[in-house]
Amino acid sequence: MRHGMNRYIVAVTGASGVEYALRFLWHLSHCEGASDLIASPNFFRVAETELMLAGDNLLDLAAKKFGALGEAHQFAFCDYRNIGARAASGSASYRSMVVLPCSMKSLAAIAHGLSSNLIERAADVSLKERRPLILCPRETPLSAIHLQNMLTLTRAGATVMPLMPGYYHRPQNLVDLYDFMTDRIFQHMGFSERVVKPWS
């Protein structure tokens, strides 16, 4: 494949829904491949508010919440402010990018081609290089501006996947809902691994 078989970009922003991101990373650690991680500083502020988990290391937070991570996946941390990083280059090889959760500020910036940080720049590059870009907003209700930005991004080639889990797998707890969304994101990122039993 032109854009790499097993390398991904995973970005987290300051939207509500921190546990979705941490559970996703926990599952990702058990899959073969490598990912560049980009975290907005606001993500850690929200993590402390929602989960009372302090720290600035995504993997440590995921392990604190869900237990030891796997060793199959390699992670590289990227500076949110460094728009000269590998993830900002169209010549770098990635299979796909996900922003989870995606704040409405980040979504708006990506929709309008603003690249003031590495998350926005990497997403902009993903669009121009025609790589899969999955954006996972968590907001309600949605204004006309939010909806217009989502339509703009969909027309530009992104997949807008709100954190709206299904219930047909009969979830017993919140983790089951996080797993449902991880499974859907994995499918769009190109992973063959399944996290929940598919609909039959």
> Can you give the residue range of the structural domain that contains 99?
7-189
Q: What angle do CA 183, 186, 187 make, to 5 degrees?
A: 90
Q: Is 111 within a domain?
A: yes
**Residues listed for the chain:** 200
pLDDT, one tens digit for every residue, the chain (200 residues): 344 568 999 999 999 999 999 999 999 999 999 999 999 999 999 999 999 999 999 999 999 999 999 999 999 999 999 999 999 999 999 999 999 999 999 999 999 999 999 999 999 999 999 999 999 999 999 999 999 999 999 999 999 999 999 999 999 999 999 999 999 999 999 998 899 988 87
**Does residue 104 fall inside a structural domain?**
yes
Question: Is position 131 within any domain?
Answer: yes
Cα-based distances in Å from 126 to 31, 63, 122, 132? 22, 29, 6, 7
Q: Which residues contact 48 (CB under 8 A, 6 or more apart)?
A: 54
198 lies in some domain? no
In a domain, 76, yes or no: yes
Where residue 106 sits, what CATH number does that domain have?
A: 3.40.50.1950
Does the residue 119 lie in any domain? yes
The whole-model pTM stands at 0.95
Q: Which of 200, 193, 196 is nearest to 31 (CA)?
A: 193
157 within domain boundaries: yes
| Domains contained in the chain, number | 1
